[in-house]
Structure formats: structure tokens, C-alpha cells
Chains A and B, each alone.
Chain A
Amino acid sequence: DIQMTQSPASLSVSVGETVTITCRASENIYSNLAWYQQKQGKSPQLLVYAATNLADGVPSRFSGSGSGTQYSLKINSLQSEDFGSYYCQHFWGTPYTFGGGTKLEIK
């Protein structure tokens, strides 16, 4: 099984700051990667698919990058509505493992 190592596990940041969350796959996943945002008590929402493509309606301050085994989600100029948890998930063969998650909190 492909393991997804996500970091950091938590982050305390202020509105307006820029953050980067990373996911490292245990083997090449050829950009078959999604990023989700999850608010407390809600279901995950797709942010980025195929590593670099923003889902419809996702603000342009979000961006995805990476290839091979290393991927990142960058959020520029954090807004209050961006706080919550973020997960990566690979789609290069089952099981479609998720990263451990990053909890983004307000400083």
C-alpha cells in the first residue's frame, strides 16, 4: 500500500499569512492526488484534483503543486473561512490512502 505522510500535523497562523502543507507519497503517484478541506462536523470538500487543478468555486489563493512523490498545497493570504483541517489523498491504485491531516488554527 502507498503511504501518504502529511506535514505539519497542525499549524497556528494569523489571517493574511501564507501557509504550505506538504504530502509525501511512499512511491511515485504520478500526480494522482487530491486535496480536501474539512470543517468541524462537516464532510470534506474537494479543493484540488490531479495535484494542480482547482475545483470549481475554490478561491485562487489556493494552489496545488508537485509531482512524483512530493506534493504541496499553498494558501496565500489566509482568510478566516480557511481554518479547518486539510487532507491529501492519492488515487494511484487502491487503497486510496489519505494523509494524516493538517489542522489549521487561528493564532
Chain B
Amino acid sequence: QVQLQQSGPELVKPGASVRISCKASGYTFTSYYIHWVKQRPGQGLEWIGWIYPGNVNTKYNEKFKGKATLTADKSSSTAYMQLSSLTSEDSAVYFCATVSGDYYYGSTWYFDVWGAGTTVTVSS
């Protein structure tokens, strides 16, 4: 079945960058978008953007342009998100999500498969 395996927790210093990964399995990696979502402690969900591994096209929430960079490696079926110039505001759990292919309606793919999340803590 479709699964997303995310990398482990990260403790990084302010001003540094971090790259987290999301390894896909159970489907053709190049066929579906992978989305990234941020959740700060005790807060709601924010959509960061998507990458389409088939052609490596990306779409970002304007709020995260310059902060997040989405990439994908077809050879390893892995999506990556790099976060740069980290501050305490970037301390959060970051989820990747994709579709199983079961929930397509009216030209919209609804993502129903989520990774477990990667906790990024920014602290000196």
C-alpha cells in the first residue's frame, strides 16, 4: 500500500538550514504530487507547497517562498524539503502527504496518505 516514511527529528541552530526527507513506497513515485504541511506545537496546519516528481514542478505558498525548497529524487522515490535561515518560528512538525489514488473528484486529488511527521527544533 502507499506509504510515506519521513526522516527523524532534527535539532538545529538558529540561522542554519535543515533538509528533511519523505520516502515513498507502494506506488509510482512520479505519478502523484507530494505536499508538505507545517504544524507548530499546539497550533493548526499550514500548507507549504507541493512537488510533482514526474517533472519536478513545484508550487509554494507565498508565505514559505524563500524559506522552503522542495526537491525530489526519482531514483530513490524520495522527496525532500530544505528549510533555510531557521528561527524559533520554524520549530514545528513537518508532514509530507500524497494520494493513494482513491480520492479524485471533480479534478481534485484529495491527499489521504500522510507521513508520521518530522519534528524540527530550532535552538542554540
Query: Which residues of chain A have a CB within 8 Å of any CB of chain B?
Result: 1, 30-32, 34, 42-46, 49-50, 53, 55-56, 87, 89, 91, 94-101
Contact B61 A95 (CB under 8 A): yes
Interface residues of B in 88-123 (CB under 8 A from A): 95, 97, 102-103, 105-106, 108, 110-112, 114-117
Q: A50 to chain B: which residues have CB within 8 Å?
A: 105-106, 108, 110
Contact B44 A98 (CB under 8 A): yes
Interface residues of B in 35-73 (CB under 8 A from A): 35, 44-47, 49-50, 59, 61-63
A46–B108 alpha-carbon span in the complex (Å): 14
Contact A101 B45 (CB under 8 A): yes
A-B contacts counted at CB < 8 A amount to: 61
Q: B45 to chain A: which residues have CB within 8 Å?
A: 44, 87, 89, 98, 101
Shortest beta-carbon distance from A98 to chain B in Å: 4
Shortest beta-carbon distance from A52 to chain B in Å: 10
- Where chain A touches its partner, the secondary structure class is loop
Task: Indicate the member of B45, B46, B111, B115 with the most A CB atoms within 10 Å.
Answer: B45
Question: 15 more A-B contacts (CB under 8 A) besides A30-B106, A43-B114, A50-B106?
Answer: A31-B106, A32-B106, A34-B110, A42-B116, A43-B95, A43-B116, A49-B103, A49-B112, A53-B103, A89-B45, A95-B61, A97-B47, A98-B45, A98-B46, A99-B44
Shortest beta-carbon distance from B16 to chain A in Å: 26
Q: A49 to chain B: which residues have CB within 8 Å?
A: 103, 105, 110, 112
Contact A98 B47 (CB under 8 A): yes
User: Which chain B residue lies CB-closest to A46?
Assistant: B112
Q: A1 to chain B: which residues have CB within 8 Å?
A: 62
User: Which chain A residue lies CB-closest to B105?
Assistant: A50
